[in-house]
C-alpha cells in the first residue's frame, strides 16, 4: 500500500517522538553512500566560516548518506526552489505536493547541521543545482554547540554572499531561527539576538526577503509552543502547516505558486477598484501636511528609520503592473504590497478617484507573519495586519493566519463600521466627508484582492 505524503510525514513524526528512530536515520542511505567526497573534513583547517562543525559518528553518517543520495537527484533537481537547513528543513521530506502544489522544490536539509556546515557544502549541494530561489533556515544547532550569535550571523552573511555571487537576481528567503528552549541549550535571548543580527545584515538588500517566522511559534516567554513543537525543537505537522502558510504568499509573489490568473466578478451593484491585471485607477497622491508631520516625528523617534517617501504631485500607474519602486505589484488578481528591503517603510497607494457618497467597501487580504499594513478610508486609517501577532485586534476568532480574510467597511454619514470575517473591528470610526481608498505598506508583505465598492444613497 502506498502511503500519502501526510501519512508518511505523520508516521516519521510519531517515530521521532517515540524514540523509534532518530532524525538522522529518517532517510534511507543511498547506494553510493561510500563516496568519499562527502565525508566531513577531519579538521577545521582551511574551511570557510567560523564556529562548530559536528563530527559525532551519527552526524558523519547522516551528512555522508544524504549528500551522497543527492548526487542521483542533481539532474532532477536543477532549477528547483531549494530549502536549505538542518533537521527542521529535513523534516519536510521530499514530497511537497501537499504543501506547495505544482512547485519544484529540492530539500537540502541535514539533521544536526550548523551554519558553518551549510557554508562548507553550499557549492555541491545547492549552487550546483542553479536554484530558482533558496529558502534558508539555520543556526539553532550552533547555539547548542555553544556558538555565540555573532558567529552564527557572520556565517549566515557568508552564505548569503555566496548565493548572491552565484546569481545576483536569485530570490533568497531568510527565515528567522525558530524558538526552542533553554532546556535544549537554545535560550530565547540567544535566538532573538541571532535574528536581530541577521535582520541587520539583510537590511536594504532587495534580493533577500526576511520572513518573520520566530513570532509564529513563540510563546509569551519566547520559547517554542509545545502544541507545535512537542520536543521543543522540531515542529509537528501543525507546525509545518504554519511554516508553509507563511511561505506561500512569498512564493506567490515571486511567481512560483498560484500562477493561474484570478478571475472575479463583483456582486450586483458593486464596482471593482482593482482589475487584477494592472494598477489602473491607482497611484501616489501628494503627501498631506499631516503625513509630512508624521514622517518628521517618525524620523525623529528613530534615526535609523528609512525615509518616508514624500510625493509632491499626483502619480498615476494606469496600465502599469507595478509602481516605479516595485513596492506595489499587480499579479494574478492580487494587489501586492511587497516586503520592503529596509525592513520597514511606510508608503501608501491610493485610488485616483474620491468617494463622497456613503458606500460599502469589500476586499480580501492575506498577510505574512507579523505584517503591518492599513486600509485608508478617505484618509482615515483602518489597521489591516496579521492581527494575532501584530494587533490591534488580537482576539479575533475567525482570523485565518496565512490565508485570505475578508474586510467589509460600511460608511454612512461620516462614520465607518468595519468587520473582518464577520467580526467587529470598529463600530464608529469617524472619516472625512470625501476622499480616496488607500492601501498602506509598512513591514512584511500584504496582498489584497477582490477590491470592490458599492455607493449607497
Helix, strand, or coil (residue 412)? strand
Q: How far apart are CA 177 and CA 223, in angstroms?
A: 12
pLDDT given at position 183: 97
Grid coordinates given for 136: 534558508
Mind listing the domains of the chain with CATH numbers? 5-254 (3.40.50.1110), 271-455 (2.60.120.560)
Three cell numbers written together for 121 = 557544502
C-alpha cell at 399: 482570523
- The mean pLDDT value for 235-251 works out to 97
Q: Are strands 328-331 and 334-337 parallel, antiparallel or unpaired?
A: antiparallel
Question: Which pLDDT belongs to residue 35?
Answer: 59
DSSP H or E segment with residue 257? none
17 vs 261, more confident: 261
Give the best-scoring range by mean pLDDT among 16-20, 255-259, 445-449: 445-449
Q: How many CB atoms lie within 10 A of CB 15?
A: 15
Share of the chain above pLDDT 70, in %: 89
Q: Give the Å distances, CA to CA, from 244 to 49, 167, 211, 257, 401.
A: 30, 25, 12, 12, 11
Phi and psi at 303, nearest 5°, equal -65, -20
Pick the range with the lowest mean pLDDT from 13-17, 204-208, 224-228, 376-380. Answer: 13-17
Q: Decide if 345 contacts 397 (C-beta within 8 A).
A: no
| pLDDT average, residue stretch 152-171 | 98
* All cell numbers assigned to 141: 544547532
Please tell me the distance from the alpha carbon of residue 407 to that of residue 423, in angstroms, as a whole number.
9
**How far apart (Å, rounded) are the C-alpha atoms in residues 303 and 24?**
47
Stretch 249-256: mean pLDDT: 96
d(CA 125, CA 241) in angstroms, rounded, equals 26
Give the pLDDT confidence score for residue 9 in this predicted structure. Answer: 43
CA distance to 40, 78, 135, 307, 381, per residue, from 299 (Å): 49, 45, 32, 7, 20
State pLDDT tens for residues 321-364.
Answer: 999 999 999 999 999 999 999 999 999 999 999 999 999 999 99
Statement: residue 368 has pLDDT above 70? yes
Q: What is the pTM of this model?
A: 0.89
More confident residue, 293 or 457: 457
The model's pLDDT over 58-109, given as tens digits with 9 standing for 90+, comes to 999 999 999 999 999 999 999 999 999 999 999 999 999 999 999 999 999 9
Grid coordinates representing 295 are 514622517
> Which pairs from 182-189 meet CB under 8 Å and 24+ separation?
182/223, 183/232, 184/144, 184/232, 184/233, 185/143, 185/144, 185/146, 186/140, 186/143, 186/144, 186/233, 187/143, 188/218, 188/221, 188/222, 188/223, 189/222
What is the tens place of the pLDDT at every residue in 391-423? 999 999 999 999 999 999 999 999 999 999 999
**Predicted local confidence at residue 93, as pLDDT:** 93
Calculate mean pLDDT across residues 171-197: 98
Mean pLDDT of the chain: 91
Is the predicted pLDDT of residue 22 greater than 50, yes or no? no
Cβ-contact 444, 402 below 8 angstroms: no
**What is the reported pLDDT for 296?**
76
pLDDT for 310 equals 77
Distances (CA, A) of 313 to 81, 257, 288, 378: 41, 36, 11, 18
- Residue given cell 510563546 in the structure block: 219
Q: What is the pLDDT of residue 31?
A: 44
Rounded mean pLDDT, 424-453: 97
Give tens-digit pLDDT for 51-60.
Answer: 999 999 999 9
The pLDDT tens digits for 105-139 are: 999 999 999 999 999 999 999 999 999 999 999 99
pLDDT band at 286 (very low <50, low <70, confident <90, very high): confident
Q: What is the pLDDT of residue 365?
A: 98
- pLDDT at residue 212, rounded to an integer: 97
- What is the rounded average pLDDT of the residues 233-260? 96
Amino acid at each position: 500500500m502506498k502511503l500519502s505524503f501526510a501519512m508518511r510525514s505523520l508516521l516519521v513524526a510519531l517515530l521521532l517522538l517515540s524514540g523509534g528512530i532518530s532524525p538522522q536515520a529518517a532517510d534511507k542511505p543511498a547506494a553510493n553512500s561510500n563516496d568519499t567526497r562527502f565525508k566531513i573534513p577531519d579538521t577545521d583547517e582551511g574551511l570557510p566560516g567560523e564556529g562548530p562543525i559536528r563530527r559525532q559518528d551519527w552526524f558523519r553518517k547522516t551528512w555522508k548518506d544524504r549528500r551522497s543520495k543527492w548526487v542521483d537527484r542533481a539532474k532532477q533537481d536543477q532549477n528547483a526552489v531549494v530549502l536549505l537547513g538542518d533537521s527542521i528543513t529535513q523534516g519536510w521530506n521530499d514530497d511537497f505536493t501537499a504543501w506547495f502544489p505544482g512547485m519544484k522544490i529540492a530539500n537540502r536539509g541535514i539533521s544536526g547541521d550548523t551554519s558553518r556546515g551549510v557554508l562548507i557544502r553550499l557549492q555541491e549541494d545547492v549552487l550546483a543545482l542553479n536554484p530558482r530561489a533558496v529558502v534558508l533556515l539555520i543556526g539553532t544547532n550552533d547555539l547548542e554547540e555553544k556558538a555565540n550569535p555573532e558567529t552564527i550571523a557572520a556565517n549566515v552573511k557568508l552564505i548569503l554572499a555566496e548565493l548572491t555571487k552565484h546569481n545576483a537576481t536569485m530570490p533568497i528567503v531568510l527565515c528567522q531561527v525558530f524558538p526552542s528552549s533553554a532546556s535544549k541549550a537554545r535560550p530565547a535571548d540567544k535566538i532573538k539576538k541571532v535574528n536581530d543580527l541577521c535582520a541587520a545584515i539583510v537590511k536594504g538588500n532587495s534580493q533577500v526577503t526576511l520572513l518573520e517566522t520566530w513570532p509564529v511559534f513563540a510563546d509569551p516567554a519566547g520559547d517554542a509552543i509545545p502544541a507545535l513543537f512537542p520536543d521543543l525543537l522540531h515542529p509537528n505537522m501543525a507546525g509545518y502547516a504554519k511554516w508553509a502558510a507563511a511561505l506561500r504568499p512569498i512564493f506567490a509573489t515571486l511567481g512560483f505558486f498560484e500562477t493561474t490568473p484570478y478571475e472575479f466578478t463583483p456582486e450586483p451593484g458593486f464596482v471593482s477598484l482593482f482589475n487584477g491585471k494592472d494598477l489602473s485607477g491607482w497611484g501616489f497622491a501628494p503627501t498631506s501636511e499631516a503625513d509630512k508631520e508624521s514622517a518628521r516625528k517618525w524620523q525623529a523617534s528613530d534615526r535609523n528609520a528609512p525615509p518616508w517617501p514624500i510625493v509632491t504631485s499626483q502619480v498615476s500607474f494606469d496600465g502599469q503592473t507595478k509602481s516605479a519602486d516595485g513596492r506595489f505589484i499587480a499579479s494574478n488578481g492580487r494587489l501586492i504590497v511587497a516586503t520592503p528591503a529596509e525592513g520597514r517603510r511606510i508608503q501608501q497607494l491610493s485610488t485616483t478617484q474620491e468617494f463622497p457618497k456613503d458606500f460599502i467597501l469589500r476586499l480580501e487580504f492575506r498577510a505574512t507573519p507579523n505584517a503591518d499594513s492599513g486600509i485608508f478610508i478617505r484618509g482615515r486609517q483602518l489597521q489591516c495586519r496579521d492581527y494575532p501577532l501584530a494587533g490591534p485586534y488580537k482576539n479575533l476568532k475567525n482570523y485565518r493566519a496565512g490565508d485570505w480574510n475578508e474586510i467589509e467597511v460600511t460608511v454612512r454619514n461620516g462614520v465607518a463600521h468595519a468587520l473582518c470575517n464577520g467580526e467587529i473591528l470598529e463600530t464608529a470610526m469617524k472619516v472625512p466627508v470625501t476622499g480616496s481608498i488607500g492601501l498602506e505598506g509598512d513591514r512584511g508583505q500584504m496582498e489584497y484582492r477582490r477590491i470592490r465598492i458599492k455607493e449607497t444613497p
